[in-house]
Structure 1
Amino acid sequence: MGKAHSPYQLPRLGTKREDTSSFLSARAQHGKQQLQKHKTNKPLRFGTWNVRTMCPGLVNLDPTKTKDIRKTAVIDRELERLQVDIAALQETRLPDCGSVKEKNYTFFWQGLSTNQPRLYGVGFAVHNRLVKAIHTPVAASERAISLRLNVKGGLLNIICVYAPTLAASAELEDKDRFYDSLQNVVNSFPVDEQLFILGDLNARIGSDHQSWPVCLGHHGIGNINDNGQRLLEFCSQNNMCVTNTFFSVKHRHRVSWCHPRSGHWHQLDFVLTRRQHINTVKITRTFHSADCDTDHALVISKVKILPRKTYSTRRPPKPKVSVTKMGMTENRETFRKAFTALCENEMGECRVDEKWNILKSNIYDCAIDSFGTKKFSNKDWVEQNETTLSPLLEEKKRALINYKNKPSQSSKDHLQHTKSVLQRESRRCANEYWSNLCSAIQNAADMGNTKAMYENIRVALGPNITKIAPLRSETGEPITDMTKQLERWVEHYSNLYSVEKPAHQVLEQIIPKHRELTELDTEPTELELSETINKLSNGKASGLDNIPAEVLKYNRDV
């Protein structure tokens, strides 16, 4: 038996210096491969966070009352910093259902109707790289919403919930209705599929492991209350466990909410899973550094689950040509020389479509090399003043952590001071931002530049909110199963196109008949082609060839 070698070990050939360099280069290459493998096989991180309102657009028309232009942008930055893949959000307080895409995450939510008070509300923040791997979230009510994620080995179901508080003890029907609705959602998923329930359950479950050996681990905290009794009964009925109690972490990493009067910390935000799947959870703990002006801390659970790789038949879009640099003479001259050098080669005998493909490829490549690519910049006032606000945000975060670790009057006063300084500077930056934006909109309107005017208006309104309309059957019931959805579409189009609808004879007589335009059969002249190119409008979206009209207009002589 030979001696075992490491994966990056090489045979000893050549001089000692050559052997050492070859060995180090092989080891470095192996390390890169292991690092890349670790990145691709990175386990998922689920989170639950009571955000206390989630506004995706303009908060106030008065800049003096501005704190955050978009709460979704603040949550987006915090979740990206802590590398959360999917976060369950509670108390979103947004009407109806919808979605909005931010820089790193796409937000989905479900709330009460528009004409009702902005209470409760639940939602998800899904990382943009996982959006293609999920099914559209399905809402059971304003307190429960679920989604399905394609993972290796099948489907994973995630439910986001927001339970009634303990103060709602007089409204027992609401609690019964909530747990009945949650039970219906759980029953809708197969038993063999993995299930996670994340949310603010407003319950204290205590630490009695002996009475609840299936539901609780050895690391619970506090005493049980009525809501906790309901929650543990629900877990026992569905063979589920509270993952927060199964890991030995610091006390501050087990609690997520501080009582405003007593100052005692409690665990109200939980991550539940089936008892047979508890071995997939690596750790569940609280992160107090996450800050979005809420009294709840972010709870993150790391699970040994890998998302399934999604494939798309669509090719990635090509970068767009920058039209802002076409006015410079040196860039035009660079384009002229590059395009002339490519066109010197004869195309030979080929079809017209082949010649056009070669021509548009040469135009696009030369335009990219000469004018560069278009850079998209749609920053709000927080991103534009990041250098000014980032130190203040970090100071506020440190003051918040210090107050949570050592609550005292001095630490509380320091936290209030940092908040007031940040708010004052935020108002100044927001006021300056909105003044400049309003001036740009007004100047564009005065000059008749409607394109610039509407672009600035879209910047002011923030990202577009997409309304989610679930697919329904003929009886009006929502359809969540993918196979049944496809069957429903087949049924709809079969009924739509199965009946032949011939044109009426009267309509055939009314429609006028035009003569044949035989002059269009002749080839266009260079003058006609030049005049047509000159009539192209600037600022329009490029077609499938990705060549903007400005490239053709400014380089007609080439």
Structure 2
Amino acid sequence: LRVKGRFFNISIINVHSPHSGSEDDEKDAFYEQLNWTYNSCPKHDVKIVIGDFNAQVGQEEEFRPVIGKFSAHVRTNENGLRLIDFATSKNMAVRSTCFQHNLRDKYTWRSPQGTESQIDHVVIDGRHFSDIIDVRTYRGANVDSDHYLVMVKMRQRLSLAKSVRYRRPPRLDLERLKLPEVASRYAHSLEAALPGEGELLEAPLEDCWRSVKAAITNAAESTIGFVERGRRNDWFDEECRAILEEKNAARRAMLQYNLRDYEEAYGQKRRQQHQLFRAKVRHQEELEFEDMEQLHRSNETRKFYKKLNGSRNGFTPRVEMCRDKNGAILTNEREVIDRWKQHFDEHLNGAEAEAGVQGGRREDFIGAAGEGEEPVPTMREVKDAIRKLKNNKAAGKDGIGAELIKTCLH
């Protein structure tokens, strides 16, 4: 993750190291990958490595310049030595063991047997050592994990540039145009809103199109309406909310008293919560399957496959990054655009495409010179072309789908 700062950008690397019982080859491969990722970050960025290192860092005197003196453990284990070696080789510091807190606020992981360890760490460039001013755990934050939430307090000036969140514009419910009464209302509303033929002929072409576009858009919004966005997680109801609150209360009691009875009570509430959530999800899936079966029976093929793909793929986030030729992740918008330009230049505008243009085949696409202008299409040809437009296709920048124009043809 790369965060834009006012003076320095911040590259944050999240890791999950193999546990202590893993083979040495697996650990070596992990640190080789971490070393490659670190080196691929921009040179002048503030580099921070965070995550589960499965490493216990001790309080040995010889490691003090790298680890400080306030670790939760006295001796460093093998994974801890690997972490210290990596930090030393990169001139970094382990800041999670540099601040004096109560022992319970240093532990980051609780084993199934009830023992606790400090195995999640925060490592930062030695040059920016003082940017991190505190690291501690918050045991009360329930993340449904055997790890505790680690808080890092950092002194850094971030960029004031606001990130504009993309908001999908509402879509017109074009399916309603299949209803005769809706199509009739839309046609009459559009006919009343369109400017006269004489007015259109006298105005510039761009002004004509703006008038027609406004008439189509206003008529469609007033008579057709927009598609209602379905809510996700409809299965989460008051029963789910109640069992979740009971589980959280049991967890707080377990952390406060640290007794076996409270631990067993929390485990029981956690199992009940998971069982209830799974049952609710299964019931919701059964309802969706019934809807898909009904669509299949009524021969609504497009709606059927749309619902099927939605249930199969689930939520798909927007991807606004890519990799360069060397595999490094690009997040800057300008760099991503340049990378795509480079990709298409190499694959579509390469030597083979250039040879085709130089070979004299350009006339196949744009016509030979001297043929003269094409005749103006007749009204019948225009109507035939509009009727041949396919339905259910994405609208252009103006947001006007083919159905909105085809419905008004006489």
- Please state which band the TM-score falls in when normalised by the shorter chain: 0.7 to 0.9
Gaps of 5+ in 2: 365-370
Which amino acid is 1:428 matched to? A
**Cα distance between partner residues in 2 of 1:450 and 1:290:** 46
Indicate the residue corresponding to 2:367 in structure 1.
Answer: none
User: How does 1:485-524 map onto structure 2 within 5 Å?
Assistant: 489=343, 493-500=349-356, 521-524=376-379
Indicate the residue corresponding to 1:360 in structure 2.
Answer: 213
Q: Is the 8 A contact 1:150 1:308 kept in 2?
A: no
Which structure has greater helix proportion? Answer: 2
**Cα distance between partner residues in 2 of 1:536 and 1:416:** 60
Which amino acid is 2:306 matched to? E
**Cα distance between partner residues in 2 of 1:358 and 1:501:** 41
Q: Is the 8 A contact 2:194 2:211 kept in 1?
A: no
| Secondary structure in 2 matching 1:375 | coil
User: How does 1:194-343 map onto structure 2 within 5 Å?
Assistant: 194-208=46-60, 211-217=62-68, 219-224=70-75, 225-261=77-113, 263-291=114-142, 293-303=144-154, 304-307=156-159, 309=161, 318-323=169-174, 340=192, 343=195
Indicate the residue corresponding to 2:368 in structure 1.
Answer: none
Indicate the residue corresponding to 1:410 in structure 2.
Answer: 261
Which amino acid is 2:203 matched to? C
- How many residues of Structure 1 are paired with residues of Structure 2 in the alignment? 388
Which amino acid is 1:377 matched to? G
Indicate the residue corresponding to 1:89 in structure 2.
Answer: none
**Cα distance between partner residues in 1 of 2:394 and 2:37:** 45
Deviation at 1:307, TM superposition (A): 4.7
| Secondary structure in 2 matching 1:198 | strand
Deviation at 1:359, TM superposition (A): 0.8
Indicate the residue corresponding to 2:20 in structure 1.
Answer: 166
Deviation at 1:194, TM superposition (A): 0.6
User: How does 1:19-30 map onto structure 2 within 5 Å?
Assistant: none
**Cα distance change, pair 332–280 in 1 and its aligned pair in 2 (3 A):** farther
Residue from 435, 451, 454 that aligns with 2:305: 454
TM-score, normalised by the number of residues in structure 1: 0.58
User: How does 1:46-57 map onto structure 2 within 5 Å?
Assistant: none
Deviation at 1:152, TM superposition (A): 2.8
**Cα distance change, pair 439–485 in 1 and its aligned pair in 2 (3 A):** closer
**Cα distance change, pair 226–496 in 1 and its aligned pair in 2 (3 A):** same
Indicate the residue corresponding to 1:434 in structure 2.
Answer: 285
TM-score, normalised by the number of residues in structure 2: 0.76
Deviation at 1:167, TM superposition (A): 1.9
CA RMSD, aligned part only?
A: 4.3
**Cα distance between partner residues in 2 of 1:219 and 1:250:** 10
| Secondary structure in 1 matching 2:66 | coil
**Cα distance between partner residues in 1 of 2:163 and 2:144:** 38
Structure with more relative contact order (C-alpha pairs < 8 Å, separation 6 or more): 1
Indicate the residue corresponding to 1:443 in structure 2.
Answer: 294
**Cα distance between partner residues in 1 of 2:42 and 2:303:** 52
Gaps of 5+ in 1: 1-146, 509-515
Q: Is the 8 A contact 1:200 1:268 kept in 2?
A: yes
**Cα distance between partner residues in 1 of 2:386 and 2:31:** 66
**Cα distance between partner residues in 2 of 1:542 and 1:488:** 28
**Cα distance between partner residues in 1 of 2:180 and 2:272:** 45
